[in-house]
């Protein structure tokens, strides 16, 4: 029975419609609850399983002191400074297996997110501040590192390879770098600080593209990390004193 426009259907006509509407609402609610439960289960499975399968861990060497590494985030690259070894690296930093690593992070530009997923953690690098990232001993291997925070054109290409090698291989690498005669002086720093990718930087320094061990420097400008901090009004402090 049709009702004139603008009138309410009689109870006999409304009953079946209300019944169908109620069933439709219940169906939508049940479907929503089912989807939410499925997504929650997948997220929980990811949290429980992914870290154990992706993060590399290794036995600690007896009495191993943390290796201090200062990291300056720049456009399209990270500069890794080894204050105890007196050297620096870009693109392929090298670290010893079985030894904790203590990163001190700051930025010479915009805020970046320093991440090495295979070693399990990430930290923000912000101009004028020092962030600390402590990593436990790791087994040998090569691990992708990257900036995961959008901060302008080309951020997705800001990647590096973290090389974990045996302790004697790390000592040999540091000795080769010190003997290469490629100082991180004022000229090199000006190029590093500019908008150059690692390969562009190598070309401007008169070097071939970075090889398997990346681009490294045999000596350092005095307290370069503190110098970058002080540009943004932060107080400098001795290496190893993180926040």
The string of pLDDT tens digits covering residues 28-87 is 777 778 777 776 666 555 544 444 435 566 676 767 899 999 999 998 899 999 999 999
| Pick from 105, 101, 152, 103: nearest CA to 128 | 105
| Pick from 239, 240, 93, 83: nearest CA to 173 | 93
Work out the percent of the chain whose per-residue pLDDT is above 70. Answer: 75
The 10s digit of each residue's pLDDT in 147-206 is 888 766 766 778 999 999 999 999 999 999 999 999 999 999 999 999 888 889 999 998
- Given a cut of 60, whether residue 210 has pLDDT beyond it is yes
Model's pTM, two decimal places? 0.73
Q: What is the rounded CA–CA span in Å between residue 128 and residue 115?
A: 19
The pLDDT assigned to 34 comes to 73
> What does the pLDDT average to over 96-117?
94
Q: What is the rounded CA–CA span in Å between residue 237 and residue 228?
A: 12
- Given a cut of 50, whether residue 242 has pLDDT beyond it is no
């Amino acid at each position: 029975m049709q009702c004139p426009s603008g009138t309410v259907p009689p109870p006999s006509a409304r009953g079946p419609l209300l019944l169908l509407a109620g069933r439709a609402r219940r169906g939508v609610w049940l479907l929503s609850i089912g989807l939410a439960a499925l997504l929650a289960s997948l997220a929980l499975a990811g949290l429980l399983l992914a870290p154990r399968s992706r993060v590399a861990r290794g036995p600690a060497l007896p009495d191993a002191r943390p290796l201090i590494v200062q990291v300056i985030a720049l456009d399209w690259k990270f500069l890794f400074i080894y204050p105890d070894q007196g050297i620096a690296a870009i693109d392929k930093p090298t670290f010893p297996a079985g030894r904790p690593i203590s990163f001190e992070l700051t930025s010479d530009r915009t805020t970046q997110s320093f991440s090495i997923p295979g070693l399990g953690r990430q930290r923000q690098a912000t101009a004028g501040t020092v962030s600390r990232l402590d990593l436990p001993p790791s087994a040998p291997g090569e691990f992708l590192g990257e900036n995961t925070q959008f901060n302008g054109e080309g951020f997705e290409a800001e990647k590096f390879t973290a090389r974990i090698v045996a302790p004697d291989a790390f000592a040999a690498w540091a000795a080769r770098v010190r003997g290469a005669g490629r100082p991180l002086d004022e000229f090199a720093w000006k190029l590093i600080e500019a908008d150059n990718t690692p390969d562009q930087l190598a070309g401007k320094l008169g070097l071939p593209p970075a090889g398997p061990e990346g681009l490294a420097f045999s000596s350092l400008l005095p307290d370069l990390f503190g110098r970058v901090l002080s540009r943004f009004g932060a107080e400098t402090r001795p290496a190893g004193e993180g926040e």
